[in-house]
């Protein structure tokens, strides 16, 4: 990785973090990274629905929403340094990372970079819809494939046809950003390193063809603390398909409560 040349300073943030409603009384700051093609808007409702003990801070990547005219990053090694420099001020209090699919891979590498650079480390890493990062990828890369192949992959993930995506004018406008996001995810190279010091919570959809239970369980290699795996009904986009089911469990995990929600199955791995 093109490492940061100096430790980021804990000053004000710039364009990456979306803080609609700072909550100085919150116990924890939750930094959220989206799936490929997603934006900060995917987490807008979370800040309204989660209790005020949790301050939700979505991360807005270039190439979408108010940053649409900015060129999206195509390589994780290029994305991490400016992102970490910008959000460093938000690491001044207890915090956790949530990442979905592509965002999960970014969040994992950010946690490693925080430790490497001597920055405050997260209390927890929460990932959804991504196999453990050391595992080989099963899917054929599509970031440089013809549009119909990329749309077919999207259809596999959300259970719709490639034609439905091809006929979506917004998706066609977003095609360069989608390609860039898939490139970030598909060209990511895992570099062996010590496990994270924080606990890792892994979420998966039972009908998600992009992950298996074994691939989710394998995240246990990446935490020196503990790893918990929770499975939900639904496919790849289960966190947003049924927030009434997902968000209460997320809140319990963040605040260290014993979950009273029985709609998921889970397993834990300790060290």
Which residues are catalytically annotated? 101
What would the 3-class secondary structure string for 110-148 be?
HHHHHHHCCCCCCCEEEEECCCCCCCCCCCCCCCCCCHH
Sheet holding 200-205, edge to edge: 54-58, 28-33, 95-100, 124-128, 200-205, 226-232, 265-270
Per DSSP, 215 falls in state: H
Q: In angstroms, how far is CA 42 from the centroid of its own chain? A: 11
Closest CA to 35 of 141, 138, 95, 107: 107
Outline where the chain has alpha helix (H). 44-49, 76-87, 102-116, 147-158, 162-166, 169-173, 175-186, 213-217, 238-241, 243-255
Of the CA atoms within 13 Å of residue 171, those in its CB half-sphere come to 15
> Residue 105, SS3?
helix
Query: What phi and psi values does residue 129 have, to the nearest 5 degrees?
Result: 70, 30
Closest CA to 204 of 117, 97, 121, 132: 132
Bridge partners for 229 per DSSP: 202, 267
Q: Is 94 exposed, middle or buried (0-12, 13-18, 19+ CB in 10 A)?
A: middle
Q: In angstroms, how far is CA 177 from the centroid of its own chain? A: 17
């Amino acid at each position: 990785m093109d490492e940061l040349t100096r430790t980021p300073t804990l000053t004000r943030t710039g364009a990456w973090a979306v803080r609609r409603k700072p909550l100085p009384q919150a116990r924890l700051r939750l930094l959220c990274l989206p799936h490929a093609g997603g934006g900060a808007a995917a987490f807008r409702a979370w800040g309204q629905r989660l209790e005020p003990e949790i301050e939700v801070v979505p991360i807005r990547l270039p190439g979408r929403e108010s940053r649409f005219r900015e060129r999206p990053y195509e390589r994780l090694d290029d994305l991490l340094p400016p992102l970490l420099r910008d959000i460093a001020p938000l690491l001044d209090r207890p915090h956790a990372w949530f990442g979905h699919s592509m965002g999960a891979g970014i969040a994992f590498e950010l946690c490693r970079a925080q430790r490497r650079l001597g920055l405050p480390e997260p209390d927890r890493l929460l990932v959804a819809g991504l196999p453990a990062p050391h595992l080989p990828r099963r899917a054929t890369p599509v970031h440089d494939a013809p549009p119909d192949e990329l749309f077919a992959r999207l259809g596999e993930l959300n259970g719709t046809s490639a034609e439905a995506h091809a006929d979506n004018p917004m998706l066609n406008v977003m095609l360069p950003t989608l390609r860039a996001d898939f490139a970030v995810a598909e060209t990511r190279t895992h570099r062996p390193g010590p496990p994270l010091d924080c606990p890792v919570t892994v979420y998966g959809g039972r009908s998600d063809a992009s992950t298996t239970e074994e691939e989710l369980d394998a995240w246990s290699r990446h935490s020196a603390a503990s790893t918990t795996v929770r499975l939900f009904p639904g496919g790849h986009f289960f966190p947003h398909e049924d927030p009434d089911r997902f968000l209460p469990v997320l809140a319990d995990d963040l605040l260290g409560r014993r979950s009273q929600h029985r709609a998921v199955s889970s397993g834990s791995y300790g060290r």
